Structures are given as C-alpha cells and as structure tokens.
Structure 1
C-alpha cells in the first residue's frame, strides 16, 4: 500500500481530509529534516530522539525507507559514526517529501 492509499484508508476516502493530512506530513518532513541537520554530529541522544519522532509518523504513511533509516539510527550507540546514519535518514526524508509533493500535485484541489 502506498502513501496515498494508506492516508485514504485513514480518512475513509475523504479527499479534502487526505489532502490536509498529506500537507501536514509534508510540513512535518520538512521540519524534521531541518531539525535533524541542526543536531550536532555527535549528539547521540538528540539524534535518537528525532529518529524516534520521525519513525512514528513514517509508519503511519508506510514510508518504509524512512522508518528503516530511523530504526538504524535508533539502534546505534554513542560510539557509532552517526553521520552516515543521519545522511541516510535525511535522504529518505527528502525522497518522501518529493513523493508527497507529487501526490499533492496530482490530487484535485
């Protein structure tokens, strides 16, 4: 099930509500991505916290690449090199943003 199907299932097919949810998820992805990049590269607790927050939202919309990147970051330790994990999560969020933007453009206004 893709993102739009998942959201339509949650909204009972209500297109206006689906659009609002897509817009909110897109806003959240943008904000979360900015917060993720603002965290110091060695601040493990904050990285895990933001990954945990993003993980929950990603599961709702079935954004597999995002929640898998979150799981990897959440499973890390303070001794791990967090930068590749952060970059993987940021890339997954960026790809989700593009998908959500396209889906919004395809919905009727």
Structure 2
C-alpha cells in the first residue's frame, strides 16, 4: 500500500515556490524565518511548503534551540534526473533528425 504521508518528489518540485526554496537552501542552512523573508507569502504558507519538501526527502530539518534549521538534501533529485535521462535518447534522435533536415535544405 502507498504511504500517503510521503510526498512524491515530482509533486514536491511542481510548485515554483518550493523550487525557489530548494534553490535558497543550496546556498546555506536557513531557518523558516530566513526563508520566509524571500517570499511574499506568510510564514505559515512557507511552513506548509517546507513540510511537503521534508516529506519528499528534499529537505532535512534540525531543531537548534528554539528554531528549526533547514538544509537541502539533493539525493531524491536523482529520481528526476533518472527519469529525464530516459528521454535523452529521444531528444538526441529528434535533434539529429532536425539537423539533417536543416543541412539538407541549405544545399
């Protein structure tokens, strides 16, 4: 049975805000307050995004004193990389065909 509490990595990165959060976390570990400063949404909304990212394994949290610090965990992104790699051959073929057509039309 599928664990509904665990979010899919593809679902997690489908939202532009969550993708931006991931980019922020590539630079350094941040608290929710620091992350929220970068967005025109409430701290509660940022917390919901972090919850989804955390459930997908893309971020890790660590309680330090009274605040929670978040760090990027890029490992689950390999699932996306592998999925895209599957289609690389398809695009390579299409681009080679396009190149051939363009070259033939310039003759």
TM class, shorter-length: 0.3 to 0.5
TM-score normalized with structure 1 length: 0.35
TM-score normalized with structure 2 length: 0.36
Q: Determine which structure has greater relative contact order: mean sequence separation of CA pairs < 8 Å that are 6+ residues apart, divided by chain length.
A: 1
